[in-house]
Amino acid sequence: MADVKDITPDLDRLDSQLDDLEDALAPLLESLDERASQLPLLDRAKLFSLSAYAIESLLFSYLRLQGANAQDHAVFTELKRVQQYFAKIKAIEEPEAKRSTTVNQEAAARILKADLSDNKTLSSKLAEKIAEERAKALLKSVETRKRPAEDSPASAAGSGAEDQASAKTKKKKLDKSKSKKHKQRG
């Protein structure tokens, strides 16, 4: 029995600390509704959620001290619920900032072209994708009967790909008209 430590001084100290805690919380908990009525709505929500969290965490600590599995107890689920309230309050206080930056697509294309210039297969695939995108944009502008800006620097820089795209489009239209005439004759 010489190995067993006397824990009565620790228990006495814990008892006095709990008494101090009760004395400190008494004014807050006795007039909680009265104090909360004087606060704005968001601060009132903070006060109620913080006081609930304090009580629930004390109960959780008590269960742990008693040796119970506090993770499976209902107090633990209440703690998680109150933490969700904290997250909701924080989301209201600090709304997500709207994204103000945009991607400069021309600069990204230049960077990709420069990085992929040594790899022939990737650079050719990139050129094909860019040509496809430009062809889609051209078709969309033709469908909406808007003329593309021919004298803008962006169109002058990529005019080779646009010429290919417009040539492809014209060829498709020509093939369609030929097949229609062929069907009408046959």
Buried b (16+ CB within 10 A) or exposed e, 62-86: ebeeeeeebeeeebbebbeebeebe
Contact between residue 163 and residue 131 where contact means Cβ atoms under 8 Å apart:
no
Asked if 131 and 166 count as a contact pair (C-beta separation under 8 A), the reply is no
* 51, 29 Cβ separation under 8 angstroms: yes
pLDDT in tens, 47-72: 889 888 988 888 888 888 888 888 88
Domain edges within the chain: 15-93, 105-145
pLDDT averaged per 10 residues in sequence order, the chain, 186 residues: 75 89 79 81 89 87 86 89 91 77 81 74 80 89 65 48 59 58 50
Supply the pTM of this predicted model.
0.42
| Cα–Cα nearest to 73, from 61, 84, 63 | 63
The per-residue pLDDT for range 115-128, each reduced to its tens digit, is: 766 777 777 887 88
